Structure 1
Amino acid sequence: MKKKMFKGLIASLSIVFLLAGCGSGGKTATSSKESESKEKTAETSDVTSGASEQKYTDISELKDEYDVIIVGAGGAGMASAIEAKEAGMNPVIFEKMPYAGGNTLKSSAGMNASETKFQKEQGIEDSNDLFYEETLKGGNNTNDKELLRYFVDHSASAIDWLDGMGIRLNNLTVTGGMSEKRTHRPEDGSAVGEYLVAGLLRNIEEKEIPLFVDADVKEIKEKDGQVNGVKVVFQGKDKKNISSKAVIVTTGGFGANMDMVTENKPELKGYVSTNQEGSTGDGIKMIEKLGGATVDLDQIQIHPTVQQEKAFLITEAVRGEGAILVAQDGKRFFNELETRDKVSKAIIGLEDKYAYLVFDAGVRSRVKAIDFYDKQGFVKTGDTIEALAKEIDVPADQLKTTLDQWNENVKNKQDQEFGRTTGMDEDLSKGPFYAIKIAPGIHHTMGGVKINTNTEVMKKDGSTIKGLYAAGEVTGGLHGGNRIGGNADADIIIFGRQAGAQSAIFAKEQK
């Protein structure tokens, strides 16, 4: 079957990634910026539509019925579609945005997994139990323990599954709250999101799975207590009812919907958001209309290192590879690799409510995303520590003292002042030196619809909605009160695969 899809895919992904990273996610933070957001949205749509023209399935190939309908073409949606196809089903993906990828495109740190072949190859001793314990602690012991147990126990196989499709994540680093290097990145150390989306889309194409963009699902259809399709609007005008035996919702969270954010957590009013503009909670609302239960909607994560003007997240891997945080006085003030909620609170507690990520040429060589940040104008540079201090207007003598002390800490493998124990493999002594000004921003919505380990959507009484599955950030419970960096990509792949497999079993039973 020859489809009019994916033409020029890899070449255009870099454009889409840039737009997703620098687009209107942060500009939707307050209603006063609504007009600016609309202008940027129009601009983004024009460019991405041009870049991805005929990249996806043409509307002329739409069918009235599929075995499994997937709503949302982020990482979870594509993983579920591939798994359903492998199980012999005829799946379809509907994506409301003009391009695939969702928030996955913006992912930067990596994908967490324990007991993986890549860890073993590199002599890293890790265990699923340790991964479980540290994630539970990081989530303030409020995580859904059944989901978490399934998650850690299936993390290594998810890395293998991706590797088997040519998506190799064998460069390891550490993120906040983790004691071992279990964050898996592309081999060259680049941001995981663009690489992961490109690899998944390549496999979607090879397996001839139809993927329609500008396809906005408005309603999940149900008959006699069982889901049987969706109502979808194509290109904002053509409304169609498409039938199926099962539906998987992978629409992401609601981090770009500031009304929904502030309704659930009023104190976040005015914060910028790192989310792509399509993360508006559509899937949660549709599932609630069917009687689906929700959990932890007030658990909304702010990420500590966000460049504020463009609302762009600076990957945790920068700190994982050795960077430190300094305040305007040039001093460190906290353990940089504590959990995100704690680091964010420490920054907010500063007099200026912002800080600088400070690092050297060594860190830059190990985190390829920094090259992209530099092109965006985020990075300040100095050939010497004193020159950098002048660039960011902090006391030069204090910044040098701070770096000298940090390098001594690294040498002795001991941070007596703040107790940091990870991200200390290399010191910060290789010029040039760099800094990025950051402050917290809305990043991840830990709450969402309630699912079980089969990814079946639950009702408040504990029963399931027949034929309805969900995976990824649209769901809640896994991360508890705080998500660990690197766990989102693991979440979308592990539970995306499970949704595809379980929906296929259900669909087969209906034939």
Structure 2
Amino acid sequence: MKKVPSKILALLMAVSVFGCVSSKTGFTPGTYQGTAQGFHGDITMEVTVDSGRILSVQAVEHTESPGISDPAFERIPKAIVDGQTLAVDVVAGASFSSRGIIDAVTLALEKSGADITALQNKTASSKAVRRDSKTETADVIVIGAGGAGLAAAIAANQSGATVIVLEKMPRAGGNTIISGAAYNAVDPSRQIPLGIEDSVDLHFTQTYEGGDKVGDPALVRTMVENAYPALQWMESLGMEFTPTVFTVLGGLWPRAHKPVKPLGTGYIDTDLEYINSHSSQITLLLETEATELITKNGRVTGVKAKGLSTDYVFNANKAVVIATGGFGANIELRDRFNSMWPALTNIKTTNHPGATGDGLVMAEAVGANLVGMEYIQLLPMGDPDTGSLSGNIEQNVENRIFVNKSGNRFVDEGARRDVMTKGLFEQQDAFMWVILDRHSYPNPDVKNNFNETIAELIAQGRAYGANSLDDLARQIGVNAENLKAAVADFNRAVETGGPDRFGRTLFQDKIDTPPFYAGAREPTVHHTMGGIQINTRAQAIDKKGNVIPGLYAAGEVTGGIHGSNRLGGNALADIHVFGRIAGTNAAAEK
């Protein structure tokens, strides 16, 4: 949440009291506000005008993603003031935020009596930016600077290749940097001391069967066998994980590793440290959007791209790696391929705004086969206002329950993600409360998996706390007797070890120690399991089943690994295992 300092706001509001209409421009001098929809919620912009000019444009309040949306809030207001026009370009990778800013400014200017049509048609007074053309060459070109792309770039460089990484967003990180960051891997060094029995075969079985046996068994086997070696590889680069493991939502087993740094920042920081220290061999270009794969005699040989002021041709001596992520933020593509869920048009997403499926379009244009596109994963854990995973109060699967608006449990809270979400859709308003107690938050300053303390969440009205279940029920508006019965039912199952009447088998502590906490959640689009078909070498496959020479793919842009449902914690394993494989093999191309 960002706000204009109160003194400046008061001064600007005072200006608006003395406005008068200008016959020349139609402006009524003063200060006006407009609010429009951004990517994660409302954006409120403030505009100050005099009788002849737009004097200032600034953000009053918004909940857009920090870093991702920042360039839009910096550039668009400046472009509007500099050009005295609403005909300004959106910022690549932050198009939803950009349009929200422009729409909010438009609404504010309407209040001033401005001629909106003239402002929308007016050519900016500043000179148009002249576009340059440039050609660059490297051994490997990587499209996308999320977890998979950066892993591919590092692995390629470690294999002796020079690398150029293209990222359309203003920052690196993709979905990885805003993820819950759980990483599944069979890890005896952490699991055995906790009394956890696990095996690669069990991880394979749970992944393959958890995706309804739709995934390619060879790809699943490659992922589970290489998950721990890839984790060790990351640790060799400086990545740090906590010394324990846990069961992540929909992960089915306690094998999820938690980074020391919050969210996915540890992965991306580690990658960028390597890239920065090898800058003579790896070039990372932000705000550079790949638009087309270049082919010659059936082989992918490079990439065409657009920068802010430059049109590029990037030639690859060896190969191209596509790591552009999924299409969870592309409503049109979601609706086109969705066959599993009710209409997704009004369902928010956990994804960053750049997850729009660009790589799928480019790959299909050169003959790549797309598989499993109908398999779209929803989580029951979206913030009701933004769809993001932030604000989720759960710490692990074993110590919390879900209740609906009546205060009743309705599903096995340790089940697959699709099972839990389908159960949630059957509840009133597809809405639930996560209920837990002091076992998850021994003190108010304990943070959730998104670097937020429970005290902060309560202060923001995003969570509720009480010393009794009766008081908690009153605060969240559910039937107290139902809530107490739901907790008692769960506690009895903890004593017996289950399964309970929902079939739940994952338990640890009772919910019996105040303070008790509740957090609201709704369904949200989280992951797209479909994408480019690849083999175990991460080579892209065409519609006839043949390898496309010179083209590799890794991460959420690929399909065939997770089947119809992805286990929680498997995405981070997937992107690093196959990112590493793609980079290594791309560097070895002849």
TM-score (norm 1): 0.85
Number of aligned residue pairs: 463
Match of 1:363 in 2: 440
What is the deviation of 1:361?
A: 2.6
For 1:91-106, list aligned pairs within 5 A. Answer: 91-106=163-178
What is the deviation of 1:45?
A: 2.6
Are the equivalent residues in 1 in contact too, given 2:394–2:434 (CA < 8 A)? no
Are the equivalent residues in 1 in contact too, given 2:40–2:64 (CA < 8 A)? no
SS in 1 for 2:508: coil
Match of 1:126 in 2: 198
Which residue of the other structure, out of 44, 67, 73, is the alignment partner of 2:70? 44
For 1:109-508, list aligned pairs within 5 A. Answer: 110-169=182-241, 170-176=243-249, 178-187=251-260, 191-208=262-279, 209-235=282-308, 237-245=309-317, 246-265=319-338, 267-313=343-389, 318-364=395-441, 365=446, 367-369=448-450, 371=452, 374-375=456-457, 377-422=461-506, 424-506=507-589
What is the deviation of 1:97?
A: 0.2
SS in 2 for 1:356: strand
Distance between the aligned counterparts of 2:436 and 2:266, measured in 1? 25
What is the deviation of 1:199?
A: 2.0
Are the equivalent residues in 2 in contact too, given 1:109–1:317 (CA < 8 A)? no
Are the equivalent residues in 2 in contact too, given 1:84–1:90 (CA < 8 A)? yes
| Greater C-alpha radius of gyration | 2
Quick one: which amino acid aligns to residue 380 of structure 1?
Y
Structure with bigger helix share is: 1
SS in 2 for 1:352: helix
Q: 1:49 to 1:497 in 2, by over 3 A?
A: farther
Match of 1:19 in 2: none
Q: 1:410 to 1:372 in 2, by over 3 A?
A: same
What is the deviation of 1:109?
A: 5.1
Distance between the aligned counterparts of 2:306 and 2:251, measured in 1? 43
Distance between the aligned counterparts of 2:136 and 2:377, measured in 1? 39
Are the equivalent residues in 2 in contact too, given 1:334–1:418 (CA < 8 A)? yes
Distance between the aligned counterparts of 1:370 and 1:382, measured in 2? 22
Distance between the aligned counterparts of 1:401 and 1:362, measured in 2? 19
SS in 2 for 1:369: coil
Match of 1:31 in 2: none
Distance between the aligned counterparts of 2:425 and 2:188, measured in 1? 36
Quick one: which amino acid aligns to residue 160 of structure 2?
G
Q: 1:367 to 1:440 in 2, by over 3 A?
A: same
Are the equivalent residues in 1 in contact too, given 2:41–2:63 (CA < 8 A)? no
SS in 2 for 1:154: helix
SS in 2 for 1:371: coil
Q: Which moved more, 1:399-408 or 1:437-446?
A: 399-408
SS in 2 for 1:73: coil
Q: Which moved more, 1:377-386 or 1:388-397?
A: 377-386
Are the equivalent residues in 1 in contact too, given 2:393–2:519 (CA < 8 A)? no
Distance between the aligned counterparts of 1:345 and 1:44, measured in 2? 35
Quick one: which amino acid aligns to residue 101 of structure 1?
G
TM-score (norm 2): 0.74
What is the deviation of 1:417?
A: 1.4
SS in 1 for 2:428: coil
Q: Which moved more, 1:356-365 or 1:296-305?
A: 356-365
Are the equivalent residues in 2 in contact too, given 1:48–1:99 (CA < 8 A)? no
Distance between the aligned counterparts of 1:368 and 1:261, measured in 2? 27
SS in 1 for 2:395: helix
Are the equivalent residues in 2 in contact too, given 1:25–1:275 (CA < 8 A)? no
Structure 2, unaligned runs of 5 or more: 1-36, 43-61, 77-131
Q: 1:179 to 1:410 in 2, by over 3 A?
A: same
Quick one: which amino acid aligns to residue 394 of structure 1?
V
Quick one: which amino acid aligns to residue 505 of structure 1?
A
CA RMSD, Structure 1 to Structure 2 (Å): 2.7
What is the deviation of 1:140?
A: 1.1
Q: Render the CA deviation track for 1:301-348: whole Å, top value 9, x for unaligned.
A: 111111121111256963425111011121211101100111001010
Are the equivalent residues in 1 in contact too, given 2:182–2:248 (CA < 8 A)? no
Higher relative contact order (CA 8 A, sep 6+): 1
Distance between the aligned counterparts of 1:113 and 1:445, measured in 2? 21
Quick one: which amino acid aligns to residue 195 of structure 1?
G
What is the deviation of 1:43?
A: 5.2
Q: Render the CA deviation track for 1:263-309: whole Å, top value 9, x for unaligned.
A: 11173222111111000100000000001110011111111111121
Quick one: which amino acid aligns to residue 426 of structure 2?
G
SS in 2 for 1:132: helix
Are the equivalent residues in 1 in contact too, given 2:252–2:416 (CA < 8 A)? no
Are the equivalent residues in 2 in contact too, given 1:327–1:356 (CA < 8 A)? yes
Distance between the aligned counterparts of 1:85 and 1:211, measured in 2? 13
What is the deviation of 1:398?
A: 2.4
Q: 1:156 to 1:43 in 2, by over 3 A?
A: closer
Are the equivalent residues in 2 in contact too, given 1:147–1:452 (CA < 8 A)? yes
Quick one: which amino acid aligns to residue 385 of structure 2?
E
Q: 1:485 to 1:24 in 2, by over 3 A?
A: farther
Distance between the aligned counterparts of 1:344 and 1:362, measured in 2? 25
SS in 1 for 2:142: strand
Distance between the aligned counterparts of 1:70 and 1:117, measured in 2? 34
Q: 1:268 to 1:179 in 2, by over 3 A?
A: closer
Q: 1:154 to 1:299 in 2, by over 3 A?
A: same
Distance between the aligned counterparts of 2:377 and 2:555, measured in 1? 15
